[in-house]
Amino acid sequence: MRTPVIAGNWKMNMTVDQAIELVKGIHYGYKNPGQVDVVVAPPSTSIHPVAQYLKDSHISVAAQNMHWEESGAFTGEISAPFIKDAGADYVIIGHSERRQYFKETDKTVNKKMHSAIKHDLIPIMCVGETLGEREDGRLQDVIQRQVMDGLDGIESFAATDIIIAYEPVWAIGTGKTATSEQAEEVHSFIRSLLHKIHDTKKANGIRILYGGSMNSKNAAELLALPNIDGGLIGGASLVASDFIDIIRS
């Protein structure tokens, strides 16, 4: 049985004060630990204050990105040890916005995955096709490449130590959600890829989240699907009551 994960990716939103306000709302509104792993990913300026606020709660904190090196001359970057030090336990890696606007590749995603695991952060590795790739019939090729290359050489971990998020690029911030059939098709394909590279127990234990215009109205249907183990939520995670509704779903 996989414990579902509901993670809010706040992207480049929320000042420190706004971040604390939002997390207060989520914390007060959701007090039922155990059934769901709840994660919030504030911008890096708010990781520490949010983590401090949530210290004794059942809500965890994620960074939205990281560098694969531990320290050094990489202006503007933060690394896994810094993220841990700031109080986060998760990190989003390879989000399509990073791939699209900051030229991240499967190779850099893979380096980040290795570093995250080495430093005890749970990576949420994002994969997903563009509309053009889907329409050209390249959906499976793209997903397979992103999953296999992203996970290359990653072996010694427990199933709960990594998370994959399927986020079709055409569904992000567009209000256009994948249908249940589309989402389940890709999630079960990802599961089949995991079976190729890991033993049954591990392949069955890794959580695969859906992301892309998930909201309080469509969450229950998506989350009921056999291979959808939670959600990575953008826009709807910025409103405490909406995020709580999704957690309850």
Minimum distance from CB of 73 to ligand 13P (Å)?
Answer: 29
- Give whichever of 198 and 218 is closer to ligand 13P, judged by the CB atom: 218
Q: Residue 86: name the closest of 116, 63, 109, 117 by CA.
A: 63
Buried b (16+ CB within 10 A) or exposed e, 134-157: beeeebeebbbebbeebbbebeeb
Phi, psi (rounded to 5 degrees) for 4:
-65, 150
Q: Is 44 exposed, middle or buried (0-12, 13-18, 19+ CB in 10 A)?
A: middle
Tell me the three state secondary structure of residue 69.
coil
Tally Cβ neighbours within 10 Å of residue 77. 15
| Smallest distance from ligand 13P to CB 38, Å | 15
**Residue 110 or residue 213: which is nearer to ligand 13P going by CB?**
213
Nearest approach in angstroms of CB 63 to ligand 13P is: 13
Q: Which is nearer to ligand 13P, 150 or 211 (CB)?
A: 211
Q: Give the residue nearest to ligand 13P (CB).
A: 234
Minimal distance, residue 166 CB to ligand 13P, in Å: 11
SS3 state at 54: coil
Binding region for ligand 13P (CB under 6 A): 9, 95, 167, 172-173, 211-214, 232-236
Contact 101, 172 (CB under 8 A): no
Catalytic positions, please?
95, 167
Residue number with CB closer to ligand 13P (230 or 235) = 235
Secondary structure (3-state) at 10 = coil
Least distance in Å: CB of 235 to ligand 13P?
3
- How many Å apart are CA 19 and CA 11, to the nearest integer? 12
Q: Which is nearer to ligand 13P, 213 or 249 (CB)?
A: 213
Q: How many CA atoms lie within 13 A of 16 on its CB side?
A: 8
